[in-house]
Amino acid sequence: MQYRPLGRTGLTVSSICLGTMTFGEQNSEAEGFAQMDMALDHGVNFLDAAELYPSPPKPETQGRTEEIVGNWVKARGLRDKVIVATKVIGRSEMTWFRNDGSEGRLTKAQIDEAIDKSLRRLKMDYVDLYQVHWPEREVSGFGSNPTRFVRVPPKADETPIEDILGYLDDLVTAGKVRHVGLSNESSWGLMRFVAGAEVGKGPRVASIQNAYSLVNRIFEVNLAEACDREDVSLLAYSPLAQGYLTGKYENGALPKGSRKQLFNRLQRYEKPGTAEAISTYVAIARDFGVDPALFANAFVTSRPFVTSNIVGATSTEQLKVAIASASFDFTSEMEAAVDAAHQLHGNPCP
């Protein structure tokens, strides 16, 4: 396992981060424990959760993921051995997160309520990394980095980024949060947070958690340079494009128990041109004699601008393949083949 600096925090995280959004829905607590045990045994010291999880979000299950992660950390006595990240929701019409039934906003009251609930579920006094799951402001597409920009007028109740940074600073001062990060954010949003920290509005963001995969390399367009120069770590999520890059959905296949079969929420990876792109990358992996899931994960883990690859699995067998990407040699020949395919297919899944 490789270990890489998390921004300017002084923390060092494993190049593989265990994503936990299936815990409490697709995975039981026992299965979650087994995954975390395996990850730890292979050198993973980084766990990522969210108040939203498990996914898909619904009031009946909300918060179970943090509870399972917290139960495991407490049962194993590992609080000082693992780096735990979680997230607060951004602007949302979902009303079951807050006690008064409010829609999600990044106000001081909502952020304070969110962190206190997360800490109770996690059974912790603090989290190592607290992330804004998605922006407070309206954006032209989820993930904030569309291939085609659509102007969205600001909402009247939009919370300024400088204010959000100040509210997060209060959590750091109170000792509830060690470091802060972003998720599904754009280069403009990132730089506004960085600029706010530079003039004393709050803590410097340590990381940005955005989607990144063979079929979504939008991060490279401008965020990569911003993060490189500002020492902001990319925590890459969805390296397998919600499972599509494993090849299991090829030719219309619908495996029983898969996320698509269970929830049919994979539209981000079902846009025009995606099937052709995905089949191309799956074929490239097989041409090199490599399991497509290992190949896709290894591509992400091997990128010089990726601090940690957030992998997700519903079985320890899947997790074993994902973890193996940390030691896989992604060759120059593989990179050339991938880049040639990207030249033809671009980023069909932003």
**Domain locations in the chain as residue ranges:** 3-345
Torsion of CA 178, 181, 183, 187, to 10 degrees: 180
Count other Cβ atoms within 10 Å, centred on residue 58. Answer: 11
What is the predicted pLDDT for the residue at 98? Answer: 98
Q: What is the pLDDT of residue 217?
A: 97
Please give the pLDDT value at position 264. 81
pLDDT for 183: 98
CB 72 within 8 A of CB 32: yes
Quick one: tokens of 335?
A: 């990179």
Q: What is the pLDDT of residue 251?
A: 82
Express each pLDDT in 90-145 by its tens digit.
999 999 999 999 999 999 999 999 999 999 999 999 999 999 999 999 998 888 78
What is the CA angle 262-265-268, rounded to 5? 145
Q: What is the pLDDT of residue 148?
A: 85
What is the per-residue pLDDT across 209-251, written as a single tens digit (0 to 9) for each?
999 999 999 999 989 999 999 999 999 999 999 999 999 988 8
pLDDT at res. 140: 84
Residues of the chain with pLDDT under 50: none
What is the reported pLDDT for 51?
A: 98
Q: By C-alpha distance, which of 172, 232, 176, 237 is closest to 206?
A: 232
Superfamily of domain 3-345 in the CATH hierarchy: NADP-dependent oxidoreductase domain (3.20.20.100)
Cα 274–279–284 angle (5° rounding)? Answer: 130
Active site residues: 53
